[in-house]
């Protein structure tokens, strides 16, 4: 069932830049949309993290950090990451949009592939992973769903969402990230991952391409996990008789249960794959699997053909090959255990960032649904007719993101393949559905939220203000107001909530703690006591300071924290006799004392003769010390 119409993001523009046109796919961590970068006027894929995960700050930071790292891969067989951002509750990645299908789609349609097609897909996947492994990353979720086959023939690896730094490989303690059918035994047993888990997953994917089935199956995930731990992946030739032994050995190396027996990384497996290809004759590479031969007899028009890749593309501007040709394969010799020379070649190819493509053509019975989003009804019908397609029916639904009378959705979606004489369901926008803003004044906040949501509106910003006539916690006003015009569905309504009547906070500094507490609680305020006492001029046991300043307006129930005094700090008094009175004053005031100068009548001397607190004794900080000058 198409849930695009129920998706609140479809039709919205994130960060004022990315207009979301349609949902492509949904996974465990994120949903992927087709979107338009309105600034650069290009189509891209927008991967939006599920809001429940976006609420986890640590997860979001890791997601962003790893996305930036993957963006630096810049390999022709890796789906490029263009941008990252956050818009309200939505954390997203803007990525390259690949028009085409996934390997999973191809396997559903074809079942087992010819060896040539399987290797044509496997090799660019390993090239992409090899670049990632050399950059220090592990994909950890390799599966057919994450292998994209573009309309231009390029194979790309997608969804590095579970990627981790090789240097940061640790035990996942309690959960296993990845898809159960492609997990390596060490992932299941202890959660430890390195580049060899990607090698294992690619071996399983190769087995699936060669046989049309997964090697381990069961009625529940536990049975599949048990088989990964205790049973070797069987040779593909056990399912498809006649498959060459070189392919059996390739799968066996990649899926060895002991990681030490596997190639160290994807570059190593790529070397084995190229060497295995070199050992196969043309007839072996193009052998048609049994189910494909049956399909030729029963439904030839549905079959997808494979065009053999040339050794070198013609030197022409019209050549569709998007990558350099592979070098001539080495002469067939020992089995794929001898691969040293080839690995050197592979290393050079990877260093150059080589990519390979696989070409698929239809038999002429299929066509693509044109992208009709935003077109008028007349334009949509005209374009469908030009493509040889009909209109199955016209649906009309409300939409806040598409203008009234324009196409908001098609089934199948734009870009999807459809039989040439088939028909398309077109959904036309009726424009935004409008509703009245309910009157929630005087209602408790939670009740107001429920009423707004039930009306089809969204809760906006909630602020608080004092009110003489609205009870604390209830709504004072809304914006838009209830008596205004009707609003489109999902319009955000801001709410002002009452803090109740204001309370004037009195000064309780210097008062005994019990007396201060009684005064504040009598006004409806909560009183808390700071865990530590401080020295202050106030006597011990009285309030040294209060967290809410005197004269401030507060709401009933607000907390005021009181800090209790330990009394003044005792400071040793220096001996200032014999000093000039001005110098003595500065010395004493610098220590926190108040100073009084007592000068006898008719005395012309400024020299201190005595002091009220003798030098060497202690006095309370802030207390007054009297100094007396010499008389006649």
Q: Which residues are annotated as catalytic?
A: 141
Q: Where are the alpha helices (H) located in 316-391, listed in sequence order?
A: 340-351, 377-386
Decide if 104 contacts 142 (C-beta within 8 A): no
Q: Are 506 and 550 in contact (CB under 8 A)?
A: yes
User: Which residue reads 């200032």 in tokens?
Assistant: 576
> Where do we find the tokens 């916690």?
473
Whole-angstrom distance, CA of residue 54 vs CA of residue 529 = 37
Residue positions counted in the chain: 632
CA 248, distance to chain mean position in Å, is 39
> What whole-number distance in Å separates Cα of residue 204 and Cα of residue 181?
8
Determine the Cα–Cα distance for residues 192 and 184; give it in Å rounded to an integer. 10
Q: Which helix (H) or strand (E) holds 387?
A: none
Task: Give just the sign of the alpha carbon dihedral 264, 270, 271, 276.
Answer: positive
- Under DSSP, the state recorded for 5 is G
Mind giving me the DSSP string for 397-446?
Answer: E--SSS-TTBEEEEESPTT-EEETT-EEEEEEE----EEPPP--TTSBHH
The string of DSSP codes covering 163-222 is -EEGGG----SS---S-GGG--HHHHHH----HHHHHHHHHHHHHHHHHSS-SS--SSHH
Gap between the Cα atoms of 139 and 70, Å rounded? 10
Cα–Cα distance for residue pair 403/344, rounded to 1 Å:
58
Which of 465, 330, 460, 368 is CA-nearest to residue 100?
368
Alpha-carbon distance of 209 to 216, in angstroms, equals: 14
| Angstrom distance (rounded) from CA 17 to CA 12 | 10
Query: How far is it, in rounded angstroms, from Cα 588 to Cα 573?
Result: 8
| CB contact at 8 A, 445 and 468 | no
Neighbours of 140 (CB within 10 A): 25
**Inter-residue contact 35 to 29 (CB < 8 Å):** no
Residue 24 in 3-state DSSP?
A: strand
Q: State the Cα–Cα distance between residues 134 and 510, nearest whole angstrom.
A: 69
């Amino acid at each position: 069932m198409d849930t695009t119409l129920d998706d609140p993001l479809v039709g919205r523009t994130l960060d004022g830049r990315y207009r979301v046109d349609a949902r492509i796919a949904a996974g465990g961590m994120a949903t992927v949309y087709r979107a338009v970068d309105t600034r650069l006027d290009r189509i891209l894929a927008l991967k939006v993290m599920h809001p429940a995960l976006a609420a986890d700050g640590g997860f979001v930071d890791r997601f962003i950090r790893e996305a930036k790292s993957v963006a630096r891969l810049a390999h022709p067989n890796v789906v490029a990451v263009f941008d990252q951002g956050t818009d309200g509750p939505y954390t997203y990645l803007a990525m390259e949009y690949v028009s085409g299908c996934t390997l999973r789609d191809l396997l559903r349609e074809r079942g087992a592939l010819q060896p040539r097609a399987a290797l044509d897909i496997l090799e660019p996947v390993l090239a992409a992973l090899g670049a990632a492994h050399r950059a220090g990353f592990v994909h950890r979720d390799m599966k057919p769903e994450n292998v994209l086959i573009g309309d231009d023939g390029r194979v790309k690896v997608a969804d590095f969402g579970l990627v981790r730094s090789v240097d940061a490989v640790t035990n996942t303690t309690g959960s296993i990230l990845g898809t159960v059918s492609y997990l390596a035994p060490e992932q299941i047993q202890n959660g430890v991952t390195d580049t060899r888990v990607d090698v294992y997953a690619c071996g399983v994917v190769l087995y699936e391409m060669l046989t049309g089935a997964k090697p381990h199956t069961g009625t529940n995930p536990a049975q599949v996990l048990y088989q990964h731990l205790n049973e070797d992946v069987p040779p593909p030739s056990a399912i498809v008789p006649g498959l060459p032994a070189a392919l059996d050995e390739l799968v066996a190396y990649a899926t060895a249960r002991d990681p030490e027996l596997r190639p160290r990384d994807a570059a190593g497996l790529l070397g084995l794959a190229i060497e295995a290809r070199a050992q196969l004759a043309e007839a072996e590479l193009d052998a048609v699997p049994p189910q494909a031969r049956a399909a030729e007899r029963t439904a030839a028009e549905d079959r997808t053909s494979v065009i053999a890749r040339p050794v070198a593309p013609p030197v022409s501007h019209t050549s569709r090959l998007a990558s350099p040709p592979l070098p001539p394969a080495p002469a067939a010799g020992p089995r794929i255990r001898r691969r040293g020379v080839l690995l050197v070649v592979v290393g050079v190819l990877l260093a150059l960032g080589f990519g390979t493509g696989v070409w698929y053509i239809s038999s002429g019975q299929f066509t693509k649904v044109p992208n009709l989003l935003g077109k008028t009804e007349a334009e949509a019908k005209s374009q469908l007719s030009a493509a040889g397609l009909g209109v199955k029916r016209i649906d009309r639904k409300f939409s806040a993101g598409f203008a009234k009378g324009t196409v908001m959705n098609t089934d199948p979606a734009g870009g999807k393949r459809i039989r040439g004489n088939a028909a398309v369901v077109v959904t036309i926008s009726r424009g935004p559905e409008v509703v009245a803003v309910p009157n929630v004044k005087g209602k408790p906040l939670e009740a107001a939220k429920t009423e707004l949501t039930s009306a089809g509106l969204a809760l906006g910003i909630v602020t608080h203000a004092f009110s003489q006539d609205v009870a604390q916690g209830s709504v004072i006003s809304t914006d838009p107001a209830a008596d205004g015009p009707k609003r489109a569905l999902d319009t955000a309504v801001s709410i002002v909530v009452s803090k109740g009547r204001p309370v004037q906070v009195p000064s309780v500094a210097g008062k005994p703690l019990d007396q201060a507490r009684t005064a504040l609680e009598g006004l409806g305020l909560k009183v808390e006591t700071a865990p530590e006492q401080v020295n202050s001029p106030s006597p011990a046991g009285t309030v040294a300071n209060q967290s809410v300043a005197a004269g401030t307006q507060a709401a009933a129930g607000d907390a005021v924290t009181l800090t209790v005094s330990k009394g003044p700090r005792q400071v040793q008094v220096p001996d200032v006799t014999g000093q000039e009175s001005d110098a003595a004053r500065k010395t004493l005031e610098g220590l926190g004392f108040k100073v009084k100068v007592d000068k006898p009548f008719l005395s012309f001397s400024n020299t201190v003769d005595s002091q009220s607190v003798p030098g060497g004794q202690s006095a309370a900080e802030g207390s007054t010390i009297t100094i007396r000058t010499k008389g006649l």
